[in-house]
């Protein structure tokens, strides 16, 4: 690294001897160096250093040819000095490579061209470029050494891979998923203050490396923690029996195999069938199948995968399984770490006795990787039977106040991030309950609502926050669907300042025999319902995602009309590369950064790995796309600013 230290000036060196400046010393340049000083120490071969003045000499006779920087052969130091100010690591890679392969430099030409070693050599080049860029930016050599020794698992024996900042070409071309990789540039590095520049290659690399190293928050999953025992799903048999895959399996399953017979089998038997059908007899190219491959590859099970050896794959998981809850905890932390997910929001259903037993009388503890969301589908559905049963079993009065108290108590127990519900496919907020202006009970002018800016007027004129849509005279017992919404759900959301997440457009049980795998979608869901909710409950913050591709543009428009509406994720049937690309581009164009690009909807822990590495980049390009689109949209100067803000955030 010292040989690569830039020296000023570029004046012709005497006998190839250059001057470098020690850390913390202002690089004043050769002229200010005292030639004859008692403090000089000769350390080798006529080379000296002076600790007091902070300089040292080094000899470099290496001349390199780096056409991307300068034509012809030039001394290494001249080339490095030509960079002037600090650059991003990728800018130095060609020069570092040229130095390392030069006979009078690193002399690694053979290594660089050895078929088995050239990939490793490239990793070395990239890691040297990072350290070099950081030193030029002003990060001290001692700081770098301390970091390597203290912050990396293997200290000075750390694989150079951990110190590279650029990503593989296969990532950039969308061939392979972009796995999480902690950044090798810490937040206190001076490199973060350096300009990104306007070179497309550098911008792309910076975007990829920022996206790869940013930990995500997963807004909606169906994961439950290891302390919830059998409800915490993980491992190959669960991965293979994911309902997205079961649906795919049944498209070509033998007619003799009924869904009932399939579900009657053990998990392992079901997984065997799925594996044989989707991964051996057919090519696993669907998004859900690709997900399985990504998980297994990330876990280091390529050999087992290539051998199509399901039992060998099972052996890997049984090592954790055999350690009981501790094994699940260990596996769970491994998955979160690999996926780069700081925490995942669970879906916690108080109405399910299987789940509530883990919360009452005392909540089971769980790691900070999990946070809760209180799922309240029966309230939105107006499923009075489910609500009445829940109230009765838990000893609450069968009244609206009883239902409110039930919710408040669950909020106290679960401490949810938000309430959530998937709306039933025929969900409508009755006009008389959710109408926009007080008194216009059933007289919403549908045509007027279709006019451009209809909702601006509506929200500006505003419905009185206390607008009750004219409920007076309605029954006070729980027998009205919208009473649950208006007087229970929204009221508690307001009281507790909790957002409500709505998932709109699922058509449950299109093919009931297939169970979860038999759910479908509503081609056009009623998005006006969302507008009415946002208007009627301005103090409640709504998170919304639509299942139909047809609703996506409308959702974006609504989000620009209501500040209490936030659009999130590419859900379920939208979670396909081509659709994600389309939706994400549209969202960036219409909403800027005011939306949440993705949530995983994982049901099996391991899925966090694939859902997020596909979402970071790969064919989906989600997060990377957001920033690449930004770059296409703005002039380069703005891009530089955006990237610098991103780097710092």
Cα 480 from chain centre: 40
Q: Quick one: 87 or 611, whose CB is closer to Zn ion?
A: 611
For helices 636-648 and 622-633, what crossing angle results, to 10°?
140
Query: Phi and psi dihedrals of 72, rounded to 5?
Result: 85, 175
Closest contact distance (angstroms) between CB of 245 and ligand RAT is: 12
The strand pairing partners of 44, in sequence order, are: 47
In the bound complex, what is the minimum distance in angstroms from residue 504's beta carbon to ligand RAT?
Answer: 10
Q: Tell me the C-alpha distance between 412 and 125, whole Å.
A: 54
Q: Which residues contact 457 (CB under 8 A, 6 or more apart)?
A: none
Q: Given the complex with ligand RAT, which of 506 and 565 has the nearer CB atom?
A: 506
Residues near Zn ion (CB under 5 A)? 601
Decide whether 359 or 572 has the Cβ nearer to Zn ion. 572
Closer CB to Zn ion, 147 or 377, in the complex: 377
State the minimum distance, in angstroms, from the CB of residue 337 to ligand RAT: 24
63 makes contact, choosing from Zn ion, ligand RAT, none, with CB < 5 to 8 Å by partner type, with: none
Q: Which residue is nearest to ligand RAT (CB)?
A: 422
Task: Categorise residue 470: left if φ over 0, alpha if ψ from -120 to 50, beta otherwise.
Answer: left
HEC letters along 522-535: CCCCCCHHHHHHHH
Q: Are strands 55-59 and 17-21 parallel, antiparallel or unpaired?
A: antiparallel
CB closer to ligand RAT out of 375 and 491: 375
State the Cα angle at 579 between 626 and 201, rounded to 5°. 35
Q: How far is the CB of 255 from ligand RAT (least distance, A)?
A: 26
At closest approach, how far in Å is the CB of 500 from ligand RAT? 14
The partner in contact with residue 37, picked from Zn ion, ligand RAT, none with C-beta cut-offs of 5 to 8 angstroms by kind, is none
User: Can you tell me the distance from the alpha carbon of 76 to that of 487, in angstroms, rounded to the nearest whole number?
Assistant: 74
Is residue 302 at the binding interface for ligand RAT, with CB under 6 A as the rule?
A: no
Q: What is the DSSP letter of 399?
A: B
In this structure, what DSSP letter does residue 574 have?
G
CB-nearer residue toward ligand RAT: 329 or 519? 519
Q: How is residue 291 written in tokens?
A: 């997900």
Name the nearest CA neighbour of 321 among 308, 310, 331.
331
Q: Which of 57, 210, 601, 606 is in the footprint of ligand RAT by CB under 6 A?
A: 601
Closer Cβ to ligand RAT, 163 or 380, answer by number: 380
572 binds, among Zn ion, ligand RAT, none (CB under 5 to 8 A by kind): ligand RAT
Shorter beta-carbon distance to ligand RAT: residue 204 or 603: 603
Helices 622-633 and 200-213 cross at an angle (nearest 10°) of 150
Task: Give min distance, CB of 378 to ligand RAT, in A.
Answer: 13
From the list Zn ion, ligand RAT, none, partner contacted by residue 584 (C-beta under 5 to 8 A by kind): none
Least distance to ligand RAT, CB of residue 548, Å: 14
- Which of 204, 503, 566, 614 binds ligand RAT (CB under 6 A)? It is 503
Show Cβ contacts of residue 310 under 8 Å, excluding neighbours closer than 6 positions.
Answer: 236, 271, 272, 275
Residue placing its CB nearer to ligand RAT in the complex, 57 or 601: 601
| Orientation angle between helical segments 324-339 and 310-321, nearest 10 degrees | 110
Phi, psi of 432 (to 5 degrees): -70, -15
Q: How many residues bind ligand RAT (CB under 6 A)?
A: 7
User: What is the closest distance, in whole angstroms, from the C-beta atom of residue 330 to ligand RAT in the complex?
Assistant: 26
| Residue among 74 and 228 whose Cβ is closer to Zn ion | 228
Between the CA of residue 587 and those of 401, 411, 452, 580, 583, what are the distances in Å?
40, 32, 19, 10, 6
Nearest CB to ligand RAT, comparing residues 422 and 482: 422
Q: Which is nearer to Zn ion, 208 or 568 (CB)?
A: 568
Rounded CA separation 642/635 (Å): 11
Half-sphere exposure of 228 (CA within 13 A, CB side): 27
Q: Which option in Zn ion, ligand RAT, none does residue 371 bind, with CB closer than 5 to 8 A by kind?
A: none
Q: How far is the CB of 26 from ligand RAT (least distance, A)?
A: 58
Closest approach of ligand RAT to the CB of residue 519, in Å: 6
Cα distance between residue 89 and residue 134, in whole Å: 8
* Least Å from the CB of residue 562 to ligand RAT: 22
The entry of ligand RAT, Zn ion, none near residue 516 (CB within 5 to 8 angstroms by kind) is ligand RAT
3-state helix, strand, coil in the chain (%, to 5): 50, 10, 40
Using the minimum distance from each CB to ligand RAT, give the nearer residue, 587 or 603. 603
Helix (H) or strand (E) holding 454: helix 454-461
Q: x/- string (CB under 6 A) for ligand RAT, residues 411-450? A: -----------x----------------------------
Distance between CA 542 and CA 116 in Å, rounded?
A: 54
Sign, CA dihedral 563-568-573-578, equals positive
Nearest residue (CB) to ligand RAT, 237 versus 329: 237
C-alpha 475/C-alpha 481 separation (Å) is 11
**Of the candidates 311, 516, 539, 634, which one interacts with ligand RAT according to CB under 6 A?**
516
Identify the H or E element spanning 217.
strand 216-218
Compute the least distance from the CB of residue 422 to ligand RAT, in Å. 3
Name residues contacting ligand RAT, limited to 537-576 (CB under 6 A).
572
Q: Give the dihedral sign, CA 317/318/320/326.
A: positive
Q: Are 203 and 222 in contact (CB under 8 A)?
A: no
152 binds, among ligand RAT, Zn ion, none (CB under 5 to 8 A by kind): none
DSSP sequence for 231-249? GS--SHHHHHT-HHHHHHH
> In the complex with Zn ion, which residue's Cβ is closer, 57 or 601?
601
**Which of Zn ion, ligand RAT, none has residue 600 at its interface (CB below 5 to 8 Å by kind)?**
none
CA–CA gap between residue 22 and residue 143 (Å, rounded): 13
CB 225 within 8 A of CB 367: yes
Q: Give which of ligand RAT, Zn ion, none residue 599 binds (C-beta under 5 to 8 Å, depending on kind).
A: none
Which of 74, 83, 89 is CA-nearest to residue 134?
A: 89
As measured in angstroms, the least distance from the Cβ of 567 to Zn ion is: 16
| Residue 388 contact, options ligand RAT, Zn ion, none, Cβ 5-8 Å cut-off depending on partner type | none
Chain positions 602 to 631 lying near ligand RAT, rule: CB under 6 A, are: 603
Pairing of strands 542-546, 565-567: parallel
- Least Å from the CB of residue 384 to Zn ion: 24
Least separation in angstroms between CB 220 and Zn ion: 6
Residue closest to Zn ion (Cβ): 601
Residues lying near ligand RAT in the complex (CB under 6 A): 422, 503, 506, 516, 572, 601, 603
């Amino acid at each position: 690294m010292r040989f690569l230290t830039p020296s000023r000036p570029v004046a012709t060196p005497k006998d190839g001897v250059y001057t470098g400046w020690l850390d913390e010393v202002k690089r004043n340049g050769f002229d200010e160096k005292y030639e004859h000083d008692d403090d000089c120490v000769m350390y080798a071969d006529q080379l000296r250093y002076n600790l007091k003045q902070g300089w040292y000499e080094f000899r470099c006779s290496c001349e390199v040819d780096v056409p991307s920087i300068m034509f012809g052969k030039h001394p290494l130091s001249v080339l490095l000095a030509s960079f002037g100010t600090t650059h991003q690591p990728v800018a130095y890679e060609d020069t570092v490579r040229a130095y390392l392969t030069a006979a009078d430099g690193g002399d690694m030409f053979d290594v660089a061209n050895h078929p088995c070693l050239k990939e490793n050599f490239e990793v070395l080049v990239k890691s040297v470029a990072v350290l070099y860029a950081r030193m030029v930016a002003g990060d001290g050599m001692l700081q770098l050494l301390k970091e390597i020794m203290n912050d990396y698992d293997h200290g000075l024996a750390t694989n150079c891979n951990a110190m590279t900042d650029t990503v593989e070409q296969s990532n950039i071309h969308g061939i392979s998923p972009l796995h999480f990789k902690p950044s090798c540039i810490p937040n206190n590095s001076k490199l973060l203050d350096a300009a990104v520049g306007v070179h497309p290659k550098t911008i792309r690399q910076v975007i990829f490396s920022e996206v790869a190293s940013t930990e995500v928050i997963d807004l909606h999953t169906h994961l439950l923690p290891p302390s919830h025992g059998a409800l915490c799903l993980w491992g190959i048999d669960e991965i293979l029996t994911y309902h997205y895959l079961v649906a795919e399996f049944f498209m070509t399953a033998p007619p003799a195999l009924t869904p009932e017979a399939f579900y009657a089998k053990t998990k392992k038997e079901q997984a065997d069938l799925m594996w044989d059908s989707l991964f051996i007899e057919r090519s696993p190219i669907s998004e859900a199948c690709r997900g399985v491959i990504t998980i297994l590859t990330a876990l280091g099970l390529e050999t087992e995968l290539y051998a199509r050896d399901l039992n060998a794959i099972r052996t890997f998981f049984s090592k954790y399984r055999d350690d009981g809850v501790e094994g699940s905890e260990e596996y769970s932390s491994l998955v979160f770490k690999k996926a780069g997910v700081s925490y995942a929001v669970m879906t916690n259903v108080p109405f399910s006795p299987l789940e509530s037993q883990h919360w009452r009388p005392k909540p089971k503890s769980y790691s900070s990787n999990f946070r809760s969301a209180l799922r309240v589908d029966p309230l939105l559905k107006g499923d009075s039977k489910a609500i009445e049963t829940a109230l009765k079993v838990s000893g609450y009065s069968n009244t609206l106040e009883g239902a409110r108290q039930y919710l408040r108590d669950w909020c106290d127990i679960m401490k949810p991030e938000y309430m959530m519900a998937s709306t039933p496919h025929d969900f409508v907020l009755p006009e008389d309950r959710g109408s926009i202006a007080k008194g216009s009970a059933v007289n919403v002018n549908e045509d007027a609502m279709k006019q451009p800016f209809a909702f601006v007027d509506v929200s500006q004129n505003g419905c009185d926050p206390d607008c009750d849509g004219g409920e007076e005279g309605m029954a006070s017992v729980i027998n009205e669907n919208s009473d649950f919404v208006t007087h229970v759900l929204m009221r508690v959301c307001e009281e507790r300042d909790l957002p409500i997440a709505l998932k709109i457009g699922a058509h449950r049980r299109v093919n009931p025999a297939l169970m979860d795998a038999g759910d479908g979608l509503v081609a056009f869901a009623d998005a006006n319902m969302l507008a009415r909710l946002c208007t009627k409950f301005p103090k409640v913050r709504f998170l919304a995602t639509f299942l139909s591709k047809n609703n996506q543009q409308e959702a974006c428009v609504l989000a620009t009309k209501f500040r209490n509406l936030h659009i999130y994720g590419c859900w379920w049937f939208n979670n396909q590369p081509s659709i994600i690309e389309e939706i994400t581009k549209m969202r960036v164009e219409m909403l800027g950064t005011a939306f949440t690009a993705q949530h995983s909807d994982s049901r099996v822990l391991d899925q966090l790995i694939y859902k997020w590495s596909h979402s970071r980049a790969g064919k989906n390009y989600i997060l990377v796309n957001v920033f690449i689109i930004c770059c296409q949209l703005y002039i380069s100067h703005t891009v530089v600013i955006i990237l610098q803000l991103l780097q710092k955030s």
